[in-house]
Amino acid sequence: MAIELEFLPLDADELPVSKIFTVENNYKFLYRKNSRHDNKIYCEIRDNDDNIIYTTRLIYAGELIHAVVDGLDIGDNKIIPFNIDDLLTDALSDDSTVTADNLERVKQYVVTG
């Protein structure tokens, strides 16, 4: 079975930022960093009427959406932030937490398959 990866562009310099991504359907993703405490990245997903339907913190190599949510349908896709270089090695990089400091290496990918 083949796995497809689609990159969702996000840059630490643009935070906070709102972007519309199509993952099965159009959703608005609002990203913020906790600059007061730890620089971790948080995400709100909104529907077409701008209602918040899901909020979460980006977890390294973990699914962004890890619950069943009414009104949020991304099909069989998964959105996972990780460092693509980790696929080529036996050990994980030091990027175990997604922060504004490592967002240039840790990217969000839509994983299908």
Dump pLDDT digits (tens) for 59-92. 998 999 999 999 999 999 999 999 888 777 766 6
Phi and psi dihedrals of 80, rounded to 5?
Answer: -135, 120
Query: Domain tally for the chain?
Result: 1
d(CA 87, CA 56): 24
Note down the domain range covering 71. Answer: 4-112
pLDDT of 96 above 80: no
Residues in the chain: 113
CA distance 46 to 89: 36
